[in-house]
Structure 1
Amino acid sequence: MRILIAVFGICAYAQPALERPGLGMIVDANGALRPVYGIAGSVTLGDPIAAGVLSTACSRKLCLSKTATSILWGDQETAAPPGPALFALDGNRAFVYFPQSNQLMRWHDGVLKPMDFDIGGEILSLRAAHGRVEFAVRRDGEVWIVRGDGAVLGALTGAGAPVMLLKDGALFKAGDALIVRRDDGTELSFDLTGVESLLPMGAGYVQIRAGAAAYALCVEPEREQLFVLPEPLP
């Protein structure tokens, strides 16, 4: 199966007239990976380019998707532990966590290499920071940000699952709201019930699954915007 990588804008609102801007990739309700075209608030979905996708993460440089037994990248695939995966993209590399087998690996050019880590609790998200990996971990009902050696970096007070660590903060569910909290303590709230999953769909955008509906959120500072994504028929 072949994955075509679109060129993603960073929450852009102006593009050359003849260019069809790409906002990223989403996993639709049928488990198909699809490109998203348009501008924030006015988008269309491209044709499916992969099926059976459990999770995905895309940036301007890299797009990785997880099926039941493989990681898809470009027009290739790499055998991987079963089940979904959490990704932290780092340029043309990535940290990958496999919840079912509790394994952390480093991905580069189609090769997965196991990594040692010492984390207690339920890992909800991870991000790359200065060449290292940081985790959002739930312990006794609280969510903490920790390093791979277990050192605690801070707490996400009031956060529930799902959680996504951003480069400058975190996105998480809190009751019937979705919160963007920055590292400087500022936050923005969006009323949204039933949030089930968060997936990085492209530079500056996050796909949100809430029941039968899908949304996209631009998380770039001062450009935050939530809008509905179209869905194909079952």
Structure 2
Amino acid sequence: MVDGGRGDGREDLELRSSRYELGVTGVGNGKVEGSVRLTSGRTEVAVEVKGPEASLASVVVKPTANRDRVSVNVKSVVSPVSGQSGEREQALEESIIKFVAGVLDPSCPPRTTITVVAQILSEDGSLLACLLNATALALMEAGIPLYGTPVSVAVAVAHSEPSPPRLCLDPDLAEERTSQLVGTYSYLFSSVDSSESAIEEMKANIVHVSTLGNSNAQTALHALTVAEKAARLVLRTRAC
């Protein structure tokens, strides 16, 4: 990451242009309840959600974390732009599963399976945040009950010694490669009121954190604060 500026001309705390389209199908096979194509800068993904469907008796169904009497099996399949899926795609699948398990409402039918099928169409940084945002939108379009509205944001911490750490929102691939840490932070906003005043006041619970690299505790807390403010901005943008 170049000191004093970003390759695409953005300010450090500026998000890339983002857009999404609901009702997109054809990513996977089988019955699709919700689907979305989401673009953030030059990163683009398509996500389909299938279910809830009755789980087979042979499937071991585990309760989602911190949810009493909720027994929903979450599966995820992530396909790369080209070639075969590898360890990275498996790690993305695990992150999606944990994310979905963390936002499901207990009213979701028990002993069912929700399947998330994701296709990476193009990639230029902040991939996991893009996948989680697309997953959340597809879940909501499918009518699957959630505890609130999830929003995910990526933050990069640039190498800036001896200066204070420099944080950049929504990093592209070149910025990620030269950063000491890249974090993806998902917040669950508790209210369905989408007015600007309500968004500023509503409670935001952190439901997912994924980091690659290292930073000190102070920088990590700063990244969380920056990410939450950006997540509120994303929520306001969607409400417009």
Please, what TM-score do these two structures have when normalized by structure 1?
0.25
Question: Normalized per residue, which structure has more helix?
Answer: 2
Q: Higher RCO, 1 or 2 (CA under 8 Å, sep at least 6)?
A: 2
The higher radius of gyration belongs to: 2
Question: Normalized per residue, which structure has more strand?
Answer: 1
Please, what TM-score do these two structures have when normalized by structure 2?
0.25
